[in-house]
Structure formats: structure tokens, C-alpha cells
Amino acid sequence: MAREESQIKFNRRKFLAGVAIAGAAGAAAPPAARAATTALTPGTTPRPSALRPSAAVAANETATPPAMAKSEGVPASDFMVDVIKSLDIKYMPCNPADSFRGLHESLINYGGNKSPEFLTCTHEEAAVAMAHGYFKIAGKPLMVCVHGTVGLQHAAMAIYNAWCDRVPVIVVGGNDLDASKRAPGVPTFHSAQDISSLVRDFTKWDDQPVSLPHFAQSFVRAYKLAMTPPHEPVMIALDAALQESTTLDRAKLTIPRYVPTSPPQGDGNAVREAARLLANAERPVIVVDKCARTENGVKLLVELAEALQAPVIDQKGRMNFPNTHYLSQNARGRALLGQADVILGLELSDYWGTVNGWIDNGDDDGSGLQESHVKPNAKLISISSILLNTKANYQDFQRFQVVDVEMAADAEATLPALIEAVKQALPANQRAAVEARGGGLKKAWSETRDRTRQAASYAWDASPISTARMAMEVYAQIKDLDWSSVGGDRQFSAWPTRLWPMDKHYHHIGGPGGYGVGYGLPAAVGAALANRDAGRFSVSFQPDGDLMYSPGALWTAARHKIPLLTVMHNNRGYHQETMHVQRMSNRRNRVAYLGKDLGPLGTRIENPDIDYAKLASALGVYSAGPITEPNELAPALKKAVQAVKAGEPALVDVVTQPR
Amino acid sequence: MRLFHACAIALTVLAPGAALAASAEHGKAMFILHGCWQCHGTQGQGSIATSGGKRLAPNPLPWEAFSGFVRSTNRAMPPYSEKILSDGDLADIYAYLQSIPKPPDVNGITLLK
């Protein structure tokens, strides 16, 4: 929308009032009114279709009230702030940009920098990842403003991660639409016809409001859609001219009330059929990925698993199931799936990959070996909301898997009905068998635990430090606190989720979703922000490669006093790629070229080594390291924990084994 | 890590395959050069990248099984042909793995209780 046109549009009431008053006073009409009059056929007297109101009535109805006589209207973006505040969005991680300067100014000066509070970020990717991490602890979305072009380009990868991870983020992109009015040069480089097209493939919905009522509806709708499972990011393209316009209509503008949409529940017949299969199964297995959205989700899953005495294989996209429970059987997943007669998959990102194996060994003309992991007659059940929101281009929907009973529904919302149906469907003569199943699983659980402890003891005293040692040294320092692990652990043999007792819904937050690198640090900072408000201690293991995408998030944590213990899993490389290039070299019978590095050229972050402790302290963060000797860990961690308890971020650089 | 750099430098002196019969030290350098450490860890302790944490040390598989596996495995581990890893170097790797001491008793490690 053109800057001036919008001005005219939003001043229309004032203009009309002006006509009435001016007419009543017999003064000259403004030029636009004159033009309208002269457009009538010359010589004819216009005949009103109704009696004109008296001057007094007209003035009462349309003129500016005396109290507002001197007001020049309200900045349109103040109203936008009112809309945003109606949704109680607590923070706005953000890198400033002029295409949303109108809204920025309103947020801090009119909105008092509260709900949302502006959190200065050094990169848009970090801002979106912070919102991503925040949601996974707080269960509430944040908004992020970005430059609609260059800022959105920076943000895009993080939006994709949120999309794959089913996390709502409200992205607002500033843009100046009127090509004839916007400033030439840089602001025009930073404008586009349709900024949202860049992320339309991986946002649930987007809009480009052209008026303030439209903005109010769009923003509330965006929030509502983002928060309806499957949760996803949404995008609002916000015209700079609209933000910077003035409205005299504030009193008449309304904000639609936000009413949460109830999550989709599985169809009754399908739920009963699933329950019948599960209740009559000899070896049912439950596999979960992004199942528990809330604390209650964890409880419900425990209830279902106990009713069936079925092992649970947790793919850990969320904190779904307590690893302290004997039905938690991740380590035996492959064997259990191989024996299963009924498999229930709850919000799996990749059902095919759950029941099939793929081995990267170059078989089948290089595409790898594929094999089924389950019995051919095993019955597969799926409850997943993602079926309700699939797009075509990006392949996050994964390979196609035939499933016997498939519900396009939110698993957590369907669990109460499923539990009830399972309890009813369990045949009386099956109860003893069900109990016996549980007995076997208790034994297997404690054997697995012993094996895991044993596995952790290998290379216990090694330098570079073993990842198991690192994980357990950290645990020793935080175990008496109300802790929350806000980073992933797949990259270092998943020691925390295997060895730390996790039974609270905030004990871990799952992974990045799309595995786009650069998520780890800012998502941890976002999750730590939510934990700060809940009075919890946050800890994250931070891969070195990931840190270097947006190390500036450390500064954001220092600037906004977000307490977070960052422990570097510093293997000095993009280690996944190190292994990939090794694999390709072997396949082609060539010795991998290392140059002066320890791994195939191009995959290592060494020569020179990066000093992460110095980097952190340069960004205002308490730091220690690099630590290469395991017995130096405890004292360094102890001090860092003190710093975090005092309310600051801290970083300990640990030089580690690769995985 | 410095230790491993030292090994990597030693490689330039010891041409790969130079027959130093069953030298654990040379074996360690080869373990690094050929990337075994990437998946197995520098002490062969295993990791998430070795199918459920398969370990190479202490007590590696008997030599025949060990070398047979490295040469001809066709699953999650990329096999190493003689063209890229000589028998001599593989024997040295084996010697290195044999030289790795047992870890401390897990029940004696307070942090793992």
C-alpha cells in the first residue's frame, strides 16, 4: 500500500468530518470535495435522496470530539501493538530493520517494551530458533520481526526447522509495497512483491494485511492457526506504509477475541479398531516421536503403556516418556519391532524409517540397502496430525508407508479415548499374559541400564574427553537442581537421554526438526528464557560446528540475562560430514585426503583451533576451557554452574571424542 | 587432541604400509589416518555411529574375524580394501587395539552409580 494513499484512507473520517463542518460553516470545500461537485452535470442542482442533517447533528455525529480536537490521530502500529498484546506474546527475539521501524517504535514507546519485550538478536536465524526453543518449554509461541527480504532469507532455515519440528512461530516480515513511494536505493533492494513466497512451502499460512482491521484479523488468525495442532510457523507480511500511517479510527477498531481451536481427535471407529488390535496383540509396541505436547501428554502415554504393558520406543522428538519407567525400552527398539505383531506409531516424523532399515553401503546401484525390520503380517497403526498439513515441495513428509489403521489426528488429544477403548477391549483372559509381559520388560530395563553404564565406562579417562564422561560430570553438578536439558544429544551418543533420569516434561526438548545446523545455540537460549521464567536451571551440550553459525546468541543471552550452562561438545569438526567423506573414499577405494587435518579435507574445524572460551568472554559470557583432561572438568563446571545460578550464561569448552 | 596431531605428523615420516610388524604406536597413527576413530572413538570405545555402540577394545575380536570384518563388511561400516589399507597397517591397528587397557570397574565410578 502506498504511504500517501494509506494516509488518505485512514484520514477519510477526518476528511468527511471536515466536509460537513466546512459545509456548515459555508467555507470553501477542500480540493477533493470540489472535484466531486464539479463532476455533476453542469447546471443541475444535486437533489439529495434524504434530508440533510442539520449542521449541529452532522457535527455531533461526525466531527472530532473537542477533547481530541488537537489529536492528529494514532499511529497505526500502536493499534498493531494492541492486537499483539491481546495475545500475551511475552518476547520478541529480533534483529532490528527499517522495514518494521514503525512497529518497532510502537512496541517500545507505546507498548512499554512489555509483552512482547524486544530481545536483541544478532541474526534472524537465531531469532527464529530462539522462538523455536522457547515454545518447546513454554508451550506458547513468540513473534519475530524480520526484514521481509534479506532478514527473511536469513530466517528461512530456522523457519524450516520449526516447520519440520511442528513448532509455531509468528514471523512478521516488514516490506514497503508501493514502488512509486518507497525510498529508492537500499529500502527498494529490501522490498518485494510477495515476500512470503520465500517461506510459503514451509509455513502453515501467510497473509499481507492492507488495512488495520485486516491486520487484526490476520494476526489473530495467524496465532490461532499456528497454535492448532499440528503446530506450525506462520507468516505476516507487513507493509511499512501501513505501519507508519495514522488512524483516526482507533476507537472503532476492534480486536477479534482469540479462542483456541480444539485439537483434532481420532475418529471413534478408528480408535476402537486400534484398541481392539492393541488389546489382542501378543507383542504390542508403542513408538513415539513428537507425541507429548504437554505435561499431561507424558502422563497419558504412561497410562496407555501401562494398560497394555507395552514397551515404548521413544524417538525423542519431544520428552514423551520417562526413561526411568521400565516400559522405556529404546535400546531394544530394533529387536522389539522385529517381534511385534501390532505397532502403534504416535506422531512419527518417519514411519517408513521406523519399520524399515536403510543402510548406506552403496548397494542397489549406490542407493543403499533397504530392508524391512518388522514381520510381514505386523499390523501398523498411526495417529499423526501432520497428515492434516502436508505440502508438496519439501520432503519432510518422508517416504510413503502403508499403515493398517491411520488417523489424521493429534495423538495427545486422542490418547484419552484410546486408553478408554483399550481398557474396554482387553479380554479378561488376556490380563495375566499382559502382566507377565510387564515382568519381562522390568528385567530387560534394568539389564539395559547396566549395559549402558558399562558402555559409558569405556574411555572414561581418555583425552580428548569421552562424551559419556562429559555428560556424567555435568550431571553430577546439576542433579540436585530443578534442571532442564535444552540441547540435543544425538550427536554424542545420546548419553543424557540414556543415563540422566528424565521424568519431567521439561527434562529435554528434542531436536531441531529439520536438522538445519545453527539451531542448537539459539534454541537453547530460547528454551533457557522460558526456563528462567519457571525458575529452572538450563543446560545444553553445544556442538562446535553448530555454534559457529550464530555465536551471537551468546551475546543475546548475556545482554538479556538468560541463565544457561553451555557445555561445548567440541570435536573440532563437522563430524557427520567427516564420516560421510570417509565412507565415500572407502567406497571408491581411495585414501581420504586429510591435508594437515585429522579428518577428510574440508570437514574439520582446526588449523587454527577456535578458542570458544575466548569467543564467549568476548561476547560477555562467563567461560572456561578448552578442557582436554577429564579430571579438570568438575572444578570448571562447578564454577560455571555458580555463574548460571547467579543468573548469567556460562560456557565451558570441552574438547571431546567425536561422538 | 595434540597427541593425535603428533601421530598425524608421524605419518609423514612413516609411509603408510611401512612394515613395522605389529607396532601399536604406528597402529594408533593408522587408526587415525584411516578414520577408524571417527566412528569408533580414539580408544575403540564405540559410539552411536557403531550400531548400538559396538566396541573394538579392549579385547578385540580374534584376528581372523577382525580382519575379515574390516575387509568385507557390507553393512553400516564402510569396508577397507587392501588398496587403501595394507595388511601390515591393519595388523598394527590390531596391535594398538590390543594395547588399550581395560576401563576402570564401572561399580567403582561414582558418577555412574
pLDDT in tens, A216-267: 999 999 999 999 999 999 999 999 999 999 999 899 999 999 999 999 999 9
Average pLDDT of the residues in A4-20: 44
Q: Does B103 touch chain A (CB under 8 A)?
A: yes
What band does A21 get if pLDDT is binned at 50, 70 and 90? very low
The pLDDT assigned to A35 comes to 42
Interface test with B, best of A449, A612, A629, A659 (most B CBs within 10 A): A659
- What residue type is assigned to position A331 of the chain? A
What are chain A's domains? 2-36+49-62 (no CATH), 74-248 (3.40.50.970), 268-450 (3.40.50.1220), 457-572+609-655 (3.40.50.970)
Average pLDDT of the residues in A302-308: 98
Question: Which residues lie closer than 8 Å to B93 by C-beta, 6 or more apart?
Answer: B27, B30, B31, B34, B36
Is residue A654 scored above 80 in pLDDT?
yes
Least CB–CB distance from A473: residue in B52, B79, B111? B111
What band does A298 get if pLDDT is binned at 50, 70 and 90? very high
DSSP-assigned beta bridge partners for residue A380: A343
Which of A104-113, A276-285, A428-437, A552-561 is least confident? Answer: A428-437
Residue whose grid cell is 595388511: B87
**pLDDT > 90 in chain A, percent:** 87
The pLDDT assigned to A44 comes to 56
Whether residue B108 lies inside any domain: the answer is: no
Q: How far apart are CA A420 and CA A418, in angstroms?
A: 5
Which of A67-71, A350-354, A411-415, A609-613 is least confident? Answer: A67-71
Average pLDDT of the residues in A411-420: 98
The pLDDT assigned to A473 comes to 98
- State the cell numbers at A600: 577428510
- State the cell numbers at A284: 504390542
Question: Which residues lie closer than 8 Å to A283 by C-beta, 6 or more apart?
Answer: A336, A339, A340, A341, A342, A437
Average pLDDT of the residues in A327-341: 97
More confident residue, A218 or B5: A218
Whether residue B110 lies inside any domain: the answer is: no
Q: Does B94 touch chain A (CB under 8 A)?
A: no
The pLDDT assigned to A55 comes to 78
More confident residue, A57 or B54: B54
Q: List the CATH number of the domain containing B39.
A: 1.10.760.10
Is residue B19 scored above 70 in pLDDT?
no
**Residues A337, A374 contacting (CB under 8 angstroms):** yes
| Domain range enclosing B49 | 2-101
Q: How far apart are CA A184 and CA A539, in angstroms?
A: 47
Whether residue B111 lies inside any domain: the answer is: no
Q: How many CA atoms lie within 13 A of B49 on its CB side?
A: 25
Sort out which chain A residues have CB atoms less than 8 A from B45's CB and list them. Answer: 455, 458-459, 462, 466, 657
Is residue A26 scored above 70 in pLDDT?
no
DSSP A508: B
Residue whose grid cell is 552409580: B113
Whether residue B113 lies inside any domain: the answer is: no
Sort out which chain B residues have CB atoms less than 8 A from A472's CB and list them. Answer: 111-112
Question: Which residues lie closer than 8 Å to A370 by C-beta, 6 or more apart?
Answer: A356, A357, A358, A359, A364
CB contact under 8 A, A462 and B79: no
Question: Cα A108 to chain center, whole Å?
Answer: 25
In order of A94, A310, A331, A565, the CA distances from A328 in angstroms are 39, 9, 9, 28
The pLDDT assigned to A31 comes to 42
What band does A15 get if pLDDT is binned at 50, 70 and 90? very low
Measured between CA atoms, the residue of chain A closest to residue B4 is A598
Report which secondary-structure segment, H or E, holds A369: strand A369-372
Number of domains, chain B: 1
The pLDDT assigned to A66 comes to 56
Q: Return the number of other C-beta atoms located less than 10 Å from residue A432's C-beta.
A: 9
Whether residue B77 lies inside any domain: the answer is: yes
Whether residue B59 lies inside any domain: the answer is: yes
Mean pLDDT of chain A: 92
Least CB–CB distance from A457: residue in B1, B37, B109? B109
Whether residue B106 lies inside any domain: the answer is: no
Average pLDDT of the residues in B20-41: 92
Backbone torsions φ then ψ of A286, nearest 5 degrees: -110, 125
Q: How many CA atoms lie within 13 A of A459 on its CB side?
A: 29
**Residues A149, A197 contacting (CB under 8 angstroms):** no
- State the cell numbers at A590: 581411495
Whether residue B24 lies inside any domain: the answer is: yes
pLDDT tens digits, one per residue of A89-98 = 999 999 999 9
The pLDDT assigned to A576 comes to 97
Sort out which chain B residues have CB atoms less than 8 A from A460's CB and list them. Answer: 103-104, 109
